Amino acid sequence: MGLIEQIQNAGVVGAGGAGFPTDRKLNCKAEIFIVNGIECEPLLRTDRRVMELHAPEIVRTVRAIRDHLGAKRAVIALKKHYEQAVAALTAAVKGTKVELYLSDSFYPAGDEQNLVYCITGKTVPTGGIPLDVGCVVSNVSTVLNIAQAMEGQPVVDKMVTVGGAVAHPVTVTCPIGTPLSKLLEAAGGALGDCTFIVGGPLMGKVTDDLSQPVTKTTGGLLAIPKGHPILAKKATSPRDAVIARAACSQCSMCTQLCPRNAMGLNVQPHKAMRALASGNDTLLGDVNGIFSCCDCGVCTYFACNFGLKPSQAMQQAKAKLQQAGIKPVKEVKYAPDTGIDNKRLPTGRLLYRLDLKQFDVDAPMGDTLNCDCVQIPLKMHIGGPDTPVVSVGQSVTRGQLIAEPQGMGAKIHASIDGTVTQVTGEFIEIRK
């Protein structure tokens, strides 16, 4: 059985992003294979735990993927201060011709297009993917899932960081479909009245519903005290346009500090702010650059001196263009900024600005969680929901196929032994 078929049978998707099916991503040829272990968001510890614990499996799998792609180079990227992971990987890559790229700690260092630029000096064009410049990028947790797929093991578990205002920050492995409330229990519960962010503090989603299940792409669960400024930053309101009209001075700091703009892409959040304030979409200028916004939020969380939300203006502008059927043109508008290194935002400064530094603590590996009941979503990937192949009352075993894609998607497997108790259009519930 070939590598692509092994990945397909195991239901591997991108573990660090939107869940793009990995069999499709790797069904190509490339010059460079890059493993992203940088963990873009602060406060998360999942990827470094993966590298510390599974360095030999990762390197072995990277070599197999490199050979499959016909790549000349294979590079594992991680931050310099991940000392244990650096040591484990340094030992594992000896004699393999697999390279390590050690990054400084800045945000968003783990953005895949930034990573491609740092390693190759090439800018991925607007609307493009790393393959447009000869690269394939996969998250390190995805690579671990591929390693297990090569051994015939499907994706049934997820490693997740539980942090923020919790009693004992921890990184745990749990069955897919485990409710978020079980993760919070593993961390000793929240300290005080909290709201929660699923993912990282900047790009994660705010929720108070801890019945939501862990998916193949869940990377973190953060408890944030109610009233914390990060929650106000992430909220949306019709008043944002009124405030923008009153306060935005068009200083363009949001554009000047935009990481994608520094790479030569025509991302100009200040023009999106101007359009939001005036209601005149013609003020956006070259709309093509809007499609290069990666929603990192540097403009909102750090650049704006008035506390405005340029990233939300960019999201609204992008949505309008998509609704109008406008598609991006693949291009790199300008030469990269010669001062790009000086524009990079140190992660520590960002955490102090957002009053999150107190939560930047270690989250050691905890015990593997057991769960008596899981609700496994039928859509944990780009594409439509999978079609169930099991029915209520049926006994299933861990690793058994329970749903298949119809077109774009990935296979889904039971994460625990038990009996199917619900099958809906959204999930399959299994109880022990």
Is pLDDT at 213 greater than 70 in this prediction?
Answer: yes
What is the Cα–Cα distance from 357 to 202, expressed in whole angstroms? 14
Predicted confidence at residue 322, as pLDDT, reads 86
Is pLDDT at 75 greater than 80 in this prediction?
Answer: yes
CATH topology of domain 156-228+355-371: Ubiquitin-like (UB roll) (3.10.20)
DSSP line for 262-327:
HTT----HHHHHHHHHH--GGGG-SGGGGGG-----HIIIII-TT---HHHHHHHHHHHHHHTT--
Q: Are strands 387-388 and 106-107 parallel, antiparallel or unpaired?
A: unpaired
**pLDDT tens sequence across 10-41:** 999 999 878 999 999 999 999 999 999 999 89
Is pLDDT at 256 greater than 90 in this prediction?
Answer: yes
Of 169-183, 277-291, 301-315, least confident by mean pLDDT is: 277-291
Enumerate the CATH 3.10.20.600 domain ranges in the chain, comma separated. Answer: 156-228+355-371
The two three-digit tokens of residue 386, written as one number: 């999978």
Is pLDDT at 236 greater than 80 in this prediction?
Answer: no
- The superfamily CATH assigns to domain 3-149 is NADH-ubiquinone oxidoreductase 51kDa subunit (3.40.50.11540)
Average pLDDT over every residue of 155-161:
97
> Among 204, 212, 164, 207, which residue's Cα sits nearest to residue 188?
164
Mean pLDDT highest for which of 46-50, 232-236, 316-320?
Answer: 46-50
N residues, the chain: 432
Do 88 and 58 form a contact (C-beta atoms < 8 A)? no
Enumerate the CATH 3.40.50.11540 domain ranges in the chain, comma separated. Answer: 3-149
Enumerate the CATH 2.40.50.100 domain ranges in the chain, comma separated. Answer: 372-432
What is the Cα–Cα distance from 200 to 154, expressed in whole angstroms? 26
φ, ψ (nearest 5 deg) of residue 296: -70, -30
**pLDDT tens sequence across 325-370:** 888 889 998 999 999 999 999 999 999 999 999 999 999 999 999 9
Q: Report which secondary-structure segment, H or E, holds 240.
A: helix 239-247
Average pLDDT over every residue of 156-175:
97
**Residue 21: strand pairing partners:** 13
* CATH architecture of the domain with range 372-432: Beta Barrel (2.40)
Predicted confidence at residue 431, as pLDDT, reads 98
The reported pTM is 0.95
Do 48 and 7 form a contact (C-beta atoms < 8 A)? no
> Among 251, 257, 331, which residue's Cα sits nearest to residue 291?
331
Predicted confidence at residue 410, as pLDDT, reads 96
Q: Are strands 395-396 and 418-423 parallel, antiparallel or unpaired?
A: antiparallel
